[in-house]
Chains A and B, each alone.
Chain A
Amino acid sequence: MTAATTVAAAGATRRVESTARTRSRRRYLAALLMLAVACSPDSEGPAAEQAVTRPGAATATSTGTKNGAASGSASVPASAPGRSDAEAGQPHVAPAGGWFDDVTAASGLLFRHDAGVSPERQLPETMGAGAALADLDDDGDVDAYLVQSGPLPAPAPGAHPDAARPTNRLFLNELPGVHTPDPAAGPRFSDATEASGAAAHDGYGMGVVVGDVDGDGSLDLYLTNYGPDALLLNDGTARFRDATRSSGLDDARWTGGAALFDADVDGDLDLFVAAYVDLDLAHPAWCGRREEGWRSYCHPDAYPGLQDRFWRNLGAAHFRDATDEAGLVTQEGQHGKGLGVLPTDVDGDLDLDLYVANDSTENRLWINVGGRFEDGTLLSGTGVNGRGETEAGMGLAAGDVDGDGDDEIFVTNFDDESNTLYRNDGEGLFTDITALSGLDAASRLPVGFGTVLSDLDADGDLDIAVTNGHIIDNIALYDDGKTHAQHALLYANDGQGRFADVSQRSGDLAAPAEVGRGLYDADLDDDGDLDLLLTTCNGPARVLANRGGPEGSGGGSVRLLGLPRACRVSATLDDGRQLVRSAGPQPSYFGQTADEVFLGLGGRPGAPRHRIERLDVQLLDGTRLAFVPARPLDGGRWRWRSEAGEVELQNPADGETMPATRTPPDPDRTDKR
Chain B
Amino acid sequence: MNMTAKIREIGKQGRGREELLAVLREARESYGCLTPEVIVELAAGLDLPVGEVYGVATFYSFLSTRPKGRNNIRICKSIPCFLKDSQIIIDTVAEAIDIQPGETTADNRFSFELTNCIGACDKAPAMMVNHRVYGGLTPAEIARILAEHK
Partners in one complex: no
